[in-house]
Structure 1
Amino acid sequence: MLTKSQSKLNENYQSFLNGNFKLTSNECYQIGFQLAKEMNHKELFAVDWNDNIDGVPDLGVWAEQNTSGIFEDVVEKGKQLTLEYEDYLKNHTIQ
């Protein structure tokens, strides 16, 4: 969840606690909401973001400037694993 969505996140979480929010397949809901409820948390704090941070290089830009077969292999393997996980989860649960 984006940190700028903090208020909406907690609005949805409160609706979930009151039985008025249907969980989607999003991991924020499936894992975050259910785990927070189990732990009796009153609110949630969004920590995921994709903003640029001063001093932290953009990996994509770095890879373009420093061509490496290793980086390309890692990206390709990541894509392959993601497809395998998605395929697996179509017919299985996390449990």
Structure 2
Amino acid sequence: MKYLTKSITLAISCVMAFSVQALSPESQSVADYAVKTYEQAMVDSLTKLVSFKTVATEGMTPDNDPEFIGFKAELKQLALELDLNYFLML
């Protein structure tokens, strides 16, 4: 878990290093609050999503591969929990 969090933090830091504009103190405060408040929930959600082996399997499609079906079901559940519109394009 800690490794995942550190990896995500490092990736975001690398991207932000190339940003031309610094965050305002207010924006930084909001970002810090979000990380402090929601960090574990983000890690838990990502842990669930990356547990699915969503790689191409010969003879399978995303519509009949149990890993893809489970991934889409988990993604839909997360969207519903966040009150986001979720639709699946077939």
Per the normalisation by structure 1, the TM-score is: 0.33
Computing the radius of gyration over CA atoms, which structure comes out larger, 1 or 2?
Answer: 1
Per the normalisation by structure 2, the TM-score is: 0.35
Higher relative contact order (CA 8 A, sep 6+): 1
